[in-house]
Each structure stands twice: as C-alpha cells, then as structure tokens.
A and B are shown apart, each in its own frame.
Chain A
Amino acid sequence: MPRRKAGALLPLENEILGVALTMLRSGHATFHGFGLAQTMRERTGSRSLTAHGTLYKALGRLEEFGLLTSRWEDAAAAEGRPRRRLYTLTAEGARVAEGTLAHKAVAPLSRVASRPA
C-alpha cells in the first residue's frame, strides 16, 4: 500500500470520489458501501469487489477529511434488511473530485505535448 503524504488522497480514495461525483451528476445524491464497491467493479472491469476493510477504512478517512458525510438509512426505507450507511459527497468533496478528474484528463495530453517532435 502506498504511503500517504499529509493531505494527499490514495488512488482508491480518488476513485471513490470520482464514482460519488458521477453518481451525484446522474441524480443519486447518496450511495452505500456495497453499491459503491459494485459500481467500482463495473467501472474497472475487475472480477472482485473491493475488500471490506479497505473500502470502509477509505470511506471513514474521506469523511474525516470532510469530503463525504454519512447517516444511517431510515428504518422504514430498509424494509427489514440491515440499515445501510448512506454517504453523500460534500461541496468540498465535489470540488476535489472535479479537480482530480480534470487532472486525469489533462495529464495524458501533457505527456503527449512534451514529447519531442
């Protein structure tokens, strides 16, 4: 696992923010742990889901950084199954996610542009 620099986000945390932003733009303001793991699996084409420990540790840290907030799902909405923890991207989280996506979009172009002719 890469060592974290102060204030720096790990690739998984950036990926979570990216997924959260995409979901927000598609009208899903909240997401839950398994739903997130499933969406990330589909996006990356991976065969396996993100591990429990890795996923919830990353979500907890993003919440500590103020990039996500969370609350428990209403008992009525759960309809008998265990209640989900619902996460929401904060304004700061959306800003960071947009910055990361923009950086990803620009980075390959920069590499191409810096090549000698």
Chain B
Amino acid sequence: MTPERMAELVARWVRFYTRDLPTPIAQRRIDEIDADLHDHIAHERANRAGDRRIALGIASRMVRGLGADASWRGRHAKAAADPPTREETMKISKTVYRSALRVALGVALFLSLPFVGMLISDDVVWSLADFVAAGVLLTVIGVVLELALRRAGNLPTAFGIAALGVAAASFGEADDAPGLVLLGILLVVSGGALGVRTAQHSR
C-alpha cells in the first residue's frame, strides 16, 4: 500500500470518529491530521524512506492512537450533548416570551371588538363563556400562526386545524356568538399557512 493510500485510510478514520461532533471541533481535528500526514510523508521521503516503511509508520501511528481517539471523541460528544448555555436558554426564553406577547395582544385586540360592540350597541350580546370560548380559539389560531412563522409543523396537524376551521364555519351561523364562522375561517387560514410552511421546509 502506498503512503498516500494509507493516509487516505487514516483520514477516513478521522472523519468517522469526528462524525456528529460540533463542526469547529471536528474540522480542526480533520485538518490537523491532514497536515500531519502530509508532513509525515514529505519528511520520510526527504529522508529516502521506502513507501512501504512510510505506510507502515502511518498505520502504526493510527493504530496506537485508537484508544486516545475514542477517548477524545467521548469527551467531546459528552460536552456537545450538555444542556444549552445560559445565553442560549435566555435567547430561547426571549423568543418564546415575544411569541406569547404577540398572541396575547392579538387575542385581546380581537376580543375587544365584541366588547366595544356590547358597549355601543344592544345587538351584540356576548356572555362570559362566549369570551372564554373565543379566547381559547383565538389563542390556538395565534399559536398555529407563530409556529408557521418559526418552523415547519407537520402536515397532519395542519390538516387537522384546517378541518376544525371548516367544521366551525359549517356549523356556525352568521350571528353566532362568538362568531364561529369567522373563527372557522381564521382556523382554515392558520392551518393553510402551517401546511404551506411545512411543505416549503420538506422540499
């Protein structure tokens, strides 16, 4: 076997034991061993060593280092699996907080419409239960829209939400409180948005 073939074998081994590790750590090890192998072959050839001897020397270095390679991988894999840092946790919390705030403001805005309607007109009559039911449905719609904005959901969920919206629109009547037709339409739109987002991500 030529030294280059043996170096290729070592490089494959390095790529194998660095798989799934954080890219900077894995790439540094890969590049460093590549440089070492190149220098090793160049140095031995400059000293007129035979190809067979160089290849054996490279193989020997790989085999004798297998235990250290496994130990090194284990330590870095464990470190990579550690829980998120304080900064990462704060970033996630901030994102969730902002999403929740947007949904809450949206729900409050929608619910303020029938509330104001009740104040200025006798035609709008919502009970507390109507407000609660509408609040729950609007929250579901808001969360679905946030999910559609941030990440792909899954298609069954999107279809389920859309089907719920179709059912609400079908069974509701125009003068329903809390307006099942309108909420149904919003659910259909939300389910559609999530479905489109999911389809885009799955491409």
Show the binding face of A for B, using Cβ within 8 Å: 1, 32-35, 37-38, 48-57, 60, 72, 81-85
Contacts and interface: CB of A to CB of B under 8 A. Distances in A.
B34 interface: yes
B38 A53 contact: no
Interface stretch (B25-33, B118-126, B140-148, B186-194): B25-33
B65 A52 contact: yes
B84 interface: no
A51 B67 CA distance: 10
B65 A54 contact: yes
Interface of B: 10, 14, 28-29, 31-36, 38-40, 42-43, 57, 60-69, 71-72
Given A32-B35, A56-B33, A51 B28 contact: no
A57 B71 contact: yes
16 contacts: A32-B36, A32-B39, A33-B32, A33-B39, A34-B35, A34-B36, A37-B36, A49-B57, A51-B68, A53-B62, A53-B67, A53-B68, A53-B69, A56-B33, A57-B68, A83-B31
A39 B10 CA distance: 22
B35 A53 contact: no
Contacts of A84: 32, 35, 39
B61 A52 contact: yes
Nearest to A72: B31
Interface centre among A32, A51, A53, A55 (most CB of B within 10 A): A53
A81 B40 CA distance: 12
Given A51-B61, A55-B65, A60-B72, 20 more contacts: A32-B36, A33-B35, A33-B39, A34-B35, A34-B36, A37-B36, A38-B43, A49-B57, A51-B63, A52-B10, A52-B36, A52-B69, A53-B67, A53-B68, A54-B64, A54-B68, A56-B72, A81-B35, A82-B38, A85-B35
Contacts of B68: 51, 53-54, 57
Contact of A53 (B57, B60, B72): B72
B40 A34 contact: yes
A34 B61 contact: no
Interface centre among A34, A81, A85 (most CB of B within 10 A): A34
Contacts of B71: 57
B59 to A, nearest CB: 11
A53 B31 CA distance: 14
Contact of A83 (B14, B35, B40, B62): B35
The 6 A-B pairs of least Cβ separation, nearest first, read: A53-B65, A51-B65, A53-B68, A51-B64, A34-B39, A53-B69
A1 B72 CA distance: 14
